[in-house]
Amino acid sequence: MYQANEKRYETMPYRRCGSSGLKLSALALGLWQNFGYGSDTSNMEKMCQTAFDHGITYFDLANNYGYPHYGTAEINFGNILKNGLGQYRHELCIATKAGYDMWPGPYGTRNGTRKYLITSVEESLKRMGLDYVDIFYHHVYDPETPLEETALALDQIVRQGKALYVGISNYNQEQTKKIAKIFKELKTPFIVNQPSYSILNRWIEDDGLKSYAEQNGLGLAVYSPLYQGFLTSKYLNDVPEDSRYARGNTSLKGQLTQEMKIRLIDLNLLAKKRGQTLSQLAIAWLLKDKAVTSVIIGASRPEQIVENVKAMENLSFTQSELKEIYIIATQKI
C-alpha cells in the first residue's frame, strides 16, 4: 500500500486562492494528457504519487479528459485513489470541469446549461468514486446560455454539497466580471479562473484579466505554462518523432518557426545562467506574480514532475532578467 513521503510539505509553497481561505499548492498536476484511455496504469499512478510526495495537493481534471474516450481520465484517477492515494483525501484538492462536448445529443455538446452542468458533476463524482470535489469549474464560456443559468447551476452544485468551491475556465475579463457579479449576489464561493498563460502566451495581460483578478480577490490557476512543450528542452534542436508537435496533437502547429527556435534558445541560455532548466524558468516566471495562485503542469513520466518542482528553489527575478525575458519573448527577431 502506498505511503506518502513524510517530508512532502517541506518545500512546496501554498498560496491563498484569491481572497478565499483555500490554499493551493503552487504547482498542480493536470490530467489532460497521458491519463486517458490506453495510458500506462503504473505510470499514471506513479506520477500522481510522485506529485503528492513533493507537496502537490491540487489535482486538476475535466469530464472530457481522456480523448477520444471522454471520462477515462476521471475513471483512471478514481482507480488511483482506490489504490492508496485516496487515504489522503482530506489532504487533496481535487478539481474537475465541465463545458466542452461530452456525450451525443443536444444536452451533451459544448454548453453551460443547468441540465448539462448538474448532470456532469454527478457523472464525474461517480467516475472518481467521490462524494464531492473541492473545485468545480465551468470549462468554457457559453454565449448561447444566459450567465444567470450557468451561475445558478454552479451555485446549486455547491449548496448540494457536490463541490466546495466553484470556478470558471477560459473566460476573458468581461465575461468574468459579469458572472462574478451574479456570484456575489448569490454568495457563491467563486474563487478562481483557469486561463492559459505562459511566457509565450500573455493574452490575460493584454485582456486585463490578470489585473482584474488581482484587484478583485480572484485566484488564477494557469494552464499550459510550458506552451505545450515549447518551453522545455524538447524543441531546442530537432523535433522528436514522439512529441505532440510531431504527431500533430497540438494547437500550435506551424508555430515552431526558425524565429521561435531562436527565442527558445535565448530563453534556455538565460535559464542556464539562473541555474535552471528552461521549464523551471518558465514556471518560476509565472509564480513571480501574486495574481497566479497555482501553475498546472502536465507530465508523461514522474521525472518531469520532479524537475518542475525544483523550480520552487528560485522564484525571484532581477529587473534585468525580467526585461530580457520580455524582449526575447515579444520583440520581432
Per-residue pLDDT of 213-252, as tens digits, reads 999 999 999 999 999 999 998 878 765 555 555 455 565 6
Decide which of 11 and 256 is more confident. Answer: 11
Residue 7 maps to a domain: no
Q: What is the pLDDT of residue 68?
A: 87
153-165, pLDDT tens digit by residue? Answer: 999 999 999 999 9
225 touches 198 (CB < 8 A): yes
Distance CA 235, CA 230 (A): 6
Give the confidence band of 331 by pLDDT, cuts at 50, 70, 90.
confident
Confidence of residue 255 (pLDDT cuts 50, 70, 90): confident
Q: Tell me, what's the pLDDT at 246? A: 47
Q: What is the pLDDT of residues 96-128, one digit of tens each?
A: 999 999 999 999 999 999 999 999 999 999 999
Q: Is 6 within the bounds of a domain?
A: no
φ, ψ for residue 12 (rounded to 5)?
-80, 125
CB 71 within 8 A of CB 106: no
Residue 278 placed within a domain = yes
- Domain annotation covers residue 4: no
Q: Is the dihedral of CA 9, 65, 182, 195 positive or negative?
A: positive
pLDDT confidence bin for 258, thresholds 50/70/90: confident
- Whether 204 is covered by a domain: the verdict is yes
Handedness of CA 120, 124, 126, 127 (dihedral sign): positive
Q: What is the pLDDT of residues 22-41, one digit of tens each?
A: 999 999 999 999 999 999 99
- The closest alpha carbon to 32, from 54, 61, 72, belongs to 61
Question: Is the Cβ–Cβ distance between 213 and 219 less than 8 Å?
Answer: yes
Grid cell digits, residue 163: 463541490
The domain in which residue 198 lies consists of 14-330
Per the domain annotation, does 3 fall within a domain?
Answer: no
Domain count, the chain: 1
Q: What is the mean pLDDT of residues 5-13?
A: 97
Q: Where residue 37 sits, what CATH number does that domain have?
A: 3.20.20.100
Residue 206's pLDDT is what?
97
- In-domain check, residue 89: yes
Beta strands in the chain (DSSP E): 14-16, 23-25, 27-30, 58-60, 93-98, 133-138, 163-169, 190-194, 219-222, 292-297
